Structure 1
């Protein structure tokens, strides 16, 4: 059953539970004090190996056996995370030359790696061709460049056209399909592009990714159904021998008050029904769900130290040694239209049952450096710690670390 997630019911404040949390916050067997010593500094990111493994195992249990689960590395490309995830999933999806090298170093077979991205350089395209991975082609011009570059390389090509769907996409936190997009080839011209380039033998399939961070189960159900319908139509029109279909992912996780956890069993049933029909027509086609945030998002924590506390005209501010330069998303500047608070926990050196309304800010010289706004949290002071939950995805590498030249955070998996 879906339930609403709020800071109040996820992390109760001012209670016996709160006292226990302050003393027993752990990642694996390590307490907060242990983690601080292991990091050697604050701020830092820590990723919970056990929680990460459990999430993948859960997906394996719930999703149909015939669905291939890929990890979208852009969510968190830390090599230790990738090395842990790689043997537990069916493939890796990458978005840059550096991610390609990290993916190859994980030991996963190149045939289970695919690369997407609307602005691949010649160097990236040549590296992908030489590595033998699947290239998700984002435009007709990119398709032409691939053939031009391969004239000197003379390698077998495995190409999947990324399709910008012609159906309406709704519910996504970040929309990446429908309407005018920098992503993919518009659905209505895909077949013409294939025929114009006479590349049917190199096109192994399609990549149809409509958007990310979607918590609307009705919208997701519609997107899944329409994705399979579109893939079938394009396959019939183009005459390709389809062996690869990436249906994207987009499954969201709860961050903010009022967010509801997705009923994944319901999503899995929708996919199972569509897969049954699909494999009845295309029995040799591998169908992939590309998940990033849903796999790694809830396994990460960002931890910083309170370095100052001030009251300004009856409003209390906790100033921490981390900020938007380390965790842009928590400041609301990574896709939020209206800023909302992430789940936040204060861990105090001396427990107090008293709560207070505070805003948590970083050390940067900008009012955008806001980590939490007007939250009721356990009363804290200088030297205490702030933990930001749901920080496993789009945190460290999605942030402007060099802004104002402050020190870099540490990140580790444990």
Structure 2
């Protein structure tokens, strides 16, 4: 995967295909037909890719952890349902995501609620709905959860989210070892444990650790998980009880840019025996449910964002392809969702022969801002009005992570392909 065309080609070969005429296929259906039927812009998700990815990760961590789906990555109930059918629980970050998970058929006791700013209304909804666990991130939230439990006459299972020390940090977006709004700092963990233990309506059952995101190196993830087991042992020692849940977060990454390689699940598997031995050797941890809750890793590779070309122009030596899709639907692809140095996601033409000449192409959207740029120099074949462009790795942090109201364009449809059928799971507009 030395350069962008190779990355795009590798991702298409792994998750999609092209027919003899060079038409991109999703689950055996021509992308051109999907665009004609459902209109553009369009998000298309391949359920078979989601299932294959989920099963591969479960097999890699078997005997150590179970795998849940982080709903924030793609909260469409039809997407959540795919993972629920595979056996996943759900990790949510709002009351609306709780409703989406329930709509997808996830049992409330298999839902975990994280996030640093849980409001009273959301807490009342999930407590009344029998949520499996709430992950506490600050003292005020601790009080709000206890009050909700009191109002509903129940005892709520809770875990502490811990912001770990510097030795546990890792991933492209580091979320540990520095000041953070997320969780209790590790050095304040004992005091937080004591505060929860003093609240009779709260039952401290676990740990939540999330040290980084978009991790592509197995050794980084394995190190974070080992650190998490150490924190879990400290919580169990402080409470004098065995832990029931050890949530080691998500953080598993996918390749977006040239030079990035996919996470090596074989290396993950090879590094687990020591972690499994740690669990089995400690009776306070041996019976705990260890859970990973990735979102991007599971849903991202299965999605395409599809836009239609409206115009092609040359400006002072640069080629611009203007499409009907842009940052208002896919902020991440524009580079405006957390990127410091803006780099291009892998892009592909909807129809492209194997020997098509490619040239650096800027792909822009219809918005009146220079920020609306899906690619700055993507290697693409010659394109004309009416052609299709697809942004790969678009199954996560797409539509709902974007400023859909900006300039008041209609939202795109979302379509799920499975078993040779295409189902509209969110209507256009």
Q: Distance in 1 between matches of 2:59 and 2:164?
A: 30
User: How many residue pairs are counted as aligned between the two chains?
Assistant: 406
What is the aligned counterpart of 1:82 among 77, 80, 90? 80
Q: Which residue of 2 aligns with 1:304?
A: 307
Q: Distance in 2 between matches of 1:21 and 1:226?
A: 50
Q: Which residue of 2 aligns with 1:10?
A: 7
Q: TM-score, normalised by structure 1?
A: 0.92
Shift of 1:195: 1.6
Shift of 1:350: 9.7
Q: Distance in 1 between matches of 2:360 and 2:195?
A: 63
What is the RMSD of the two structures over their aligned residues, measured on CA atoms? 2.2
Unaligned runs of 5+ in 2: 11-16, 418-429
Q: Distance in 2 between matches of 1:180 and 1:189?
A: 13
The 3 A distance-change label for structure 1 pair 371 and 74 is same
The 3 A distance-change label for structure 1 pair 347 and 278 is same
Q: Distance in 2 between matches of 1:304 and 1:310?
A: 17
Q: Distance in 2 between matches of 1:350 and 1:60?
A: 36
Q: Distance in 1 between matches of 2:234 and 2:18?
A: 58
- The answer to whether the 8 A contact 1:175-1:211 is kept is yes
Q: Which runs of 4+ in 1 moved over 6 A?
A: 349-352
Shift of 1:175: 2.3
Q: TM-score, normalised by structure 2?
A: 0.89
SS of 1:335's equivalent? coil
Shift of 1:176: 2.3
Unaligned runs of 5+ in 1: none
What is the aligned counterpart of 1:96 among 86, 94, 97? 94
Q: Which residue of 2 aligns with 1:380?
A: 383
Q: For each residue in 1:3-49, what CA deviation from the matched residue of structure 2 results, as whole angstroms up to 9, or x when unmatched?
A: x4632323459xxxx9857633111121012211331x100000001
Question: Which deviates further from its counterpart, 293-302 or 125-134?
Answer: 125-134
What is the aligned counterpart of 2:130 among 132, 142, 156? 132
The 3 A distance-change label for structure 1 pair 350 and 88 is closer
SS of 1:168's equivalent? helix
- The answer to whether the 8 A contact 1:215-1:252 is kept is yes
SS of 1:338's equivalent? coil
Residue 227 of structure 2 is aligned to residue 226 of structure 1: yes
Q: Distance in 1 between matches of 2:388 and 2:168?
A: 40
Q: Which residue of 1 aligns with 2:51?
A: 53
Q: For each residue in 1:350-405, what CA deviation from the matched residue of structure 2 results, as whole angstroms up to 9, or x when unmatched?
A: 99833332110011111111111122211111111101100011011100001011
1:14-413 alignment, distance < 5 Å: 23-39=22-38, 41-133=39-131, 134-197=133-196, 198-199=198-199, 202-281=203-282, 282-348=285-351, 353-413=356-416
Shift of 1:188: 1.7
- The answer to whether the 8 A contact 2:63-2:276 is kept is no
Question: Which deviates further from its counterpart, 244-253 or 273-282?
Answer: 273-282
SS of 2:68's equivalent? strand
